[in-house]
Amino acid sequence: MKPAPFTYHDPVTIDELNGLVGSLEDVKLLAGGQSLVPMLNMRYAQPDHVIDLNTVSGLDGIADNGEIITVGAMTRQAALMNNETVKQKIPVVCEALYWVGHFQTRTRGTIGGSLCHLDPAAELPAIALLYDAALTLSGPEGSRNVPMADWPVAYMMPNMTENEFLKEITFSPWQVDHSHAFVEFSRRHGDFAIVAAGCLLAIDNGMVERAAIVIAGANQVPYRLTEAEQDIIGQPASKETFKAAAEVARRQEAMSDAYVNAEYRQRLAGVMTERALSKAMERNSARD
């Protein structure tokens, strides 16, 4: 199929972009196009206007000031995956990106496009939540910051208005020595996850000092396992501890779809949580 008629805009500056999003109605923003273009072609989306972000200067790039890493919304997923700063300071991003589509889709896909599309099974929103990232939105009325925890409003509905666009994402790398892991179960490699789990784990003298655990694909938005995170802090980094965290994951609400039911996702969330924590522990042991 072909898309319904629309007016195409290709601004080259942020000021131009602000003017367009502030004056036009029924707009879709085109980033990498890996989700929007198929939706246009299938006529699931029929906007009056499409604004192409690919020619806007100042919306991509990766900057490290020592304590935070700022990533422009139009930064390609492949650029993230191959960036040395990302590999060294937030390596779980690279591990999660391995599961995102294929080489071709990562070359075009952007971090901002994934966050704004907000598919519940997408890896990058889960990783942003894992790091408590902050999202900077811009529009004709100025800028505002949204914590990643407040970004998902509902199913595939981010916390942004029609006259705003995502400008950049700020990650705060853990300063303590820690390990990481991201694991996923899907029908085929490159498909969206049925359930995925990621974690950051700081271990000191065999005890869990700090933990962050995120689940994607199980429910309508990605979520942190805050109860499990608190439960395992101060406990031995052991299979028994991680099994207890997995039980917390199994108790969370889950959704059913055409492929699997909620009970299956709940069970899989527990399995993925335990695998992620065990993998992080193994990496910590190998480093020691």
Between these two residues, 195 and 191, which has the higher pLDDT value? Answer: 195
Number of domains in the chain: 3
104: exposed, middle or buried (Cβ count in 10 Å: 0-12, 13-18, 19+): exposed
Q: For 160-178, what is the mean pLDDT?
A: 96
Per-position b or e across 150-180, b if 16+ CB within 10 A of its CB: ebbeeeeebbbeebbbbbbbbbebeeeebbb
Between these two residues, 96 and 190, which has the higher pLDDT value? Answer: 96
**What DSSP state is assigned to residue 156?**
T
Angle between the 239-250 and 262-287 helix axes, to the nearest 10 degrees? 150
216: exposed, middle or buried (Cβ count in 10 Å: 0-12, 13-18, 19+): buried
Per-residue pLDDT band at 288 (split at 50, 70, 90): low
* pLDDT, the chain, mean: 95
Same-domain status, 133 and 211:
no
Last residue of a domain, one of 155, 171, 187: 171
Residue whose C-alpha is closest to residue 170's, from 197, 137, 194, 142: 137
Kindly state whether residue 253 falls inside one of the protein's structural domains. Answer: yes
Same-domain status, 190 and 275:
yes
pLDDT digits (tens, 9 = 90+) for 227-286: 999 999 999 999 999 999 999 999 999 999 998 999 999 999 999 999 999 999 999 988
pLDDT above 70 (res 107): yes
**CA dihedral sign of residues 18, 23, 24, 27:** positive
Same-domain status, 106 and 162:
yes
Last residue of a domain, one of 116, 148, 171: 171
Same-domain status, 37 and 106:
no
Q: Containing domain of residue 76, as a range?
A: 62-171
Do 209 and 203 touch, CB atoms closer than 8 A?
yes
Same-domain status, 222 and 146:
no
pLDDT digits (tens, 9 = 90+) for 40-84: 999 999 999 999 999 999 999 999 998 999 999 999 999 999 999
Same-domain status, 103 and 156:
yes
Same-domain status, 239 and 269:
yes
Same-domain status, 167 and 184:
no
Do 47 and 27 touch, CB atoms closer than 8 A?
yes
Kindly state whether residue 1 falls inside one of the protein's structural domains. Answer: no
Same-domain status, 156 and 211:
no
Rg of the chain on CA atoms, in Å: 19
Rounded distance between C-alpha atoms, residue 217 and residue 150, angstroms: 18
Rounded distance between C-alpha atoms, residue 268 and residue 186, angstroms: 11
Do 59 and 53 touch, CB atoms closer than 8 A?
yes
The CATH number of whichever domain residue 114 belongs to comes to 3.30.465.10
